[in-house]
Chain A
Amino acid sequence: MEKRKISFPHFGSYYIPIRHLMIRGLEIDYVTPPPMTKKTLELGGKYSPDYVCAPFKIHLGCYIEAIEKGADTLIQVDGVCRLGYYGELHEQILRDLGYDVVFVNLARARNRRIRGFYEEFKKISPNLSLKKFSTALLTSIDMVESIDQIEDYLRKNIGFEQQEGSFDRLYEDYLQALSLVESRKEAKYVTSNYIKRFKEIPVNKPLKPLRVGVVGEYYSIMDGFSNHQIEREMAKMGIVVDRYLNVSNSLFHYPVKKMREYIKGYSSYDIGATGTMTLNRALKFAKRGYDGIIHVKSFGCTPEIDAMPVLQNISKDYKIPILYFSFDSQTAEAGILTRLEAFYDMMVMRKEGKA
């Protein structure tokens, strides 16, 4: 039997650990989807229900482009919102379009632990060894943590680089190095080595820089293509951009009980999906005296819509401005930049007014 060629939609830089898990853990080939472009959006939008959230459309576009690039097997993950139904619908749409692919839908897994996922993957890779799978999974998790750690530093410092492009260049190098990682030990080494190198990049950070916290929906917030790189655009204006939500903080260590406790006065129930984290972090940013909060979601994202009235309460109580973004597949970039620019001007004026 020929080796399967599996693919998963783009999601920031996480394709690197995913690829590692597939190649080393499942011992199958991995097809990285082509870089996302307008065409990806068009393809996805064309075959998706009109009112579905933007990430669904983007994923569908990625799947089609990955199939054209040679993928014959696709994966979709589970989620606690509509994401949980993505796989089912993606598979159906691709079948209707006539694509003959194997679809691994992790939402169907019997349990949501290693064992459950292992069983799902065994269907496409019958000789799969639990040991190999687990080892590769652990390395992949380390790689995810590595990306999250590096990107956190990047968001907080890239706006102050002395030499334009120095962070981007090193980040490219870093992704290269991370792609070559084969073990947990190597992952650890690459992380500490690059953290050190990133910290060596000279920055001109004022004593009290503007600080913006980013909260919102899982995919749109983490995938730069989906949010038109607003974190970058913001940071480049000379702002510390702080985001807690990433894969490690949501999947590997998510202190949900503590988070819920913290926002007790604002929300008595769990909103679902990322809602609780959104409120928790927004309140934290507010209490720490951040200059502003940016709320990011895809158009129609229900859990985040539910979080918005509570965000407005936090905004009022702590007098912290919140900028709301709702991304759809045809959002015009000029409007986004206008709003970011105005938000920046406002934060500067507020700060000068306070001083």
Chain B
Amino acid sequence: MRLEVSGIFKTYDGKVPALTDVSFSLEENGIFSLIGENGAGKTTLVRILSTQLLPTSGTATIDDVDVVSRPKEIRERIAAVPQEARAVPWMTPIQTITSYLMYRGYNHAEAMEMASDTIRKLGMEEFEHQKNRKLSGGQKRKVLVATVLASEADIIFLDEPSTGLDYISRKDLWNLFSSIKDRKSIILTTHYLEEAEALASRIGILNKGHLVGFGTMEDLRNLSKYPYSIRVSSPDFELEGDSWKVVHLAEGGTQIFTYEDQVYSLVSILISRGLRFTVQEISLNTIFENIIYGGTRNDKTSQ
């Protein structure tokens, strides 16, 4: 799958800007994750790409087919679960999946067989005949994800599929996405940055309708001044220098951001002072905070 997004603008009611000049391209299958605060434009972008919403201007193509002017061709290949989608309460999981597959044009027998197969693969047998309204939040979400995963669509749009789920349910979904990412392209929005970091081969960061970061984790780390982080347990650690930034964390402890070539000397200093510490590449959380808030939110910085 090759996705090209070029200069997408979206303004609601002619005045509220939701997306401003968003451009990027993807050239391979896998998981692409869009992250951003509430109202950053994630859902708007996903709705445009999944042909549910027209952009104000700009173009987007999937394998050279324009999503704006040729939606019918795009719809043959895509499937989407919207952010606020709910499994119809009076239906059961098997009925939900079967009817969705029939909307995609499978006959009833084929749809039933595919639905049963998907339910078996996803370990949903124990509740396949219960009414959706009786299922837990995680199970309901799984039913919706199962509908699109059961289909032949090779491009799947999932708008915040794991929001509100407990950790175990989220991990179940992650395993599910990982198991199909070689065969299908998944475009996923999420508020859980660790989810994007764990699953996505490419990540886009939206802020107030602008795409402010895009690429692999490596690319995003390179956007940050300091790609390495040393977490020190001591809350009052201080160290003067120009090659690092010391941040005293609100939740306790100290974080030192630095360059790769400074890590060794800093570690030596910490060992010599008998302090406990961990070294790692900066996480998506840190990158996100650096890009969106300039890395200063809730923390006191000394340098």
Partners in one complex: no
A residues sitting closer than 8 Å to B (CB atoms) are none
